[in-house]
Amino acid sequence: MTSFLHLLKGKWYPPANPTASFAGKNVLITGSNVGLGFEAANKYVALGALRVILAVRSLEKGYQAKEEIARRNGSHVSTIIDVWKLDMDSFASVKAFAERADKELEHLDVALLNAGLVMRAFQQSPEGWEETIQVNVLSTALLGLLLLPKLRASKTKVATPHLAIVSSGLHTSVKRENIGHDGTLLKDSNSPATFNGQRQYGISKLFVMYITKELASLASSPNGEIQVIVTSLCPGFCASELGRQYNSWAETIGMWLVHSIFARTTEEGSRTLVSATTLGPEGHGKWWKNDEFPTPGELVTSDEGKKLQKSLWKEAIDVLKVSAPEVEKLAGAE
């Protein structure tokens, strides 16, 4: 009953719509052709960003999103909207994207890592990892690491860049017995024998919480100065295309009913994505949800959770350094 009331409260009391100006800022958003990412991109344009980069897997869909954002905002808007290719299924694509950002952008003020998915059935990426782990965890970690130097170099006396990563409150539902059966976290999550799509999504978002904590530690100088504000966030339960694989007639009807009663719109959810990138130093290393900093789940805050975080990070770096040797230095693991 408590969880139902929580969902109803989330629907009827959405977060505040951000009003801060993004004038002069370059903003990059992954997974921005639909859903939360698209709505966030639309808000950045409306809030006066200098340049908004739609990082998308399908250029065709990206250009369609660009046209719709331009239509919504009218001809008076001066924001430059670019569409860049990014395939989170490929470490090479992630590397190429980060290199392009470094070369073509004079400065990078906001990187919003929103791309994510939930899978109905077990499927491996071309890199050999279960898709949820590939996109939500490994490629997200790689992109965050590779963008950190550009973000750090974009800090000014009056503005600190932001790296925001979309997590989920479902990370709090992960049970210790459901991860690390064989002593590893990533490899254990890469087995079809124990795969459950909804559970795997929650696990991936727990791992995102770990990654964000590690990136936040890297984004501070030895003297404690915050060079990049790194924040994880939860947009709440939204009626998005995230669960589009659950498309049987019964599932479609059931999802419609659940969304009608409990879900926020993607516009409402996107408010949290954008507001997370307006936070000051108080948001560094924190989890942002419903315009506040709730306490993350026990597997994040407990001593055991902190050990799991270190283990996950080491495993991720060991995987990523094969395709991107530079991450070892970027992560301070050399």
Q: DSSP letters of 224-263? A: S-BSSEEEEEE--SB-SSTTTT--SHHHHHHHHHHHHHHP
Calpha distance 109→27 (Å, rounded): 6
**pLDDT for 253:** 61
Least Cα distance to 200 among 236, 169, 174, 232 occurs for 174
For 192, which DSSP code? G
Q: What is the pTM of this model?
A: 0.93
Least Cα distance to 48 among 100, 110, 97, 114 occurs for 110
Q: Would you give the distance in Å from CA 7 to the centre of its chain?
A: 21
**pLDDT for 118:** 93
Instruction: Specify the length of the chain in residues.
Output: 334
Calpha distance 253→173 (Å, rounded): 25
pLDDT-based confidence at 240, cuts 50/70/90? low
pLDDT > 70: what percent of the chain? Answer: 89
Report the largest interatomic distance among the alpha carbons of the chain, rounded to a whole angstrom.
Answer: 58
* Predicted confidence (pLDDT) at residue 243 exceeds the cutoff of 60: no
pLDDT > 90: what percent of the chain? Answer: 81
pLDDT in tens, 187-230: 999 999 989 999 999 999 999 999 999 999 999 988 889 999 99
pLDDT in tens, 139-175: 999 999 999 999 999 999 999 999 999 999 999 999 9
Write down the mean pLDDT value for the chain. 92
What is the average pLDDT across 51-55?
Answer: 98
Instruction: Look up residue 166 and give its two tokens.
Output: 């979309």
Burial group, residue 157, by CB count within 10 angstroms (0-12, 13-18, 19+)? exposed
Contact present, 122 and 192 (Cβ < 8 Å): yes
**Which range has the worst mean pLDDT, 203-207, 311-315, 329-333?**
329-333
Instruction: Look up residue 16 and give its two tokens.
Output: 């505040």
Q: Which residues contact 73 (CB under 8 A, 6 or more apart)?
A: 42, 45, 46, 79
Contact present, 147 and 98 (Cβ < 8 Å): yes
What is the average pLDDT across 129-140?
Answer: 98
pLDDT in tens, 275-293: 999 999 999 999 999 999 9
Neighbouring C-alpha atoms within 13 Å toward the C-beta of 244: 7
SS3 of residue 20 by DSSP: coil
**Which range has the worst mean pLDDT, 39-48, 137-146, 257-266, 324-333?**
257-266
pLDDT-based confidence at 130, cuts 50/70/90? very high
**pLDDT for 334:** 45
pLDDT-based confidence at 239, cuts 50/70/90? confident
Q: Which stretches of the chain are DSSP H helices?
A: 2-12, 35-46, 59-73, 91-104, 131-132, 140-153, 197-218, 249-262, 266-276, 298-301, 303-323, 326-330
**pLDDT for 181:** 85
Catalytic positions: 201, 205
* Predicted confidence (pLDDT) at residue 259 exceeds the cutoff of 60: no
**pLDDT for 182:** 83
**Which residue matches tokens 């800022």?**
25
**pLDDT for 332:** 83
At 122, phi and psi to the nearest 5?
A: -65, 130
**pLDDT for 61:** 97
Contact present, 63 and 83 (Cβ < 8 Å): yes
| DSSP letters spanning 158-185 | S---EEEEE--GGGGG--GGGS-TTS-S
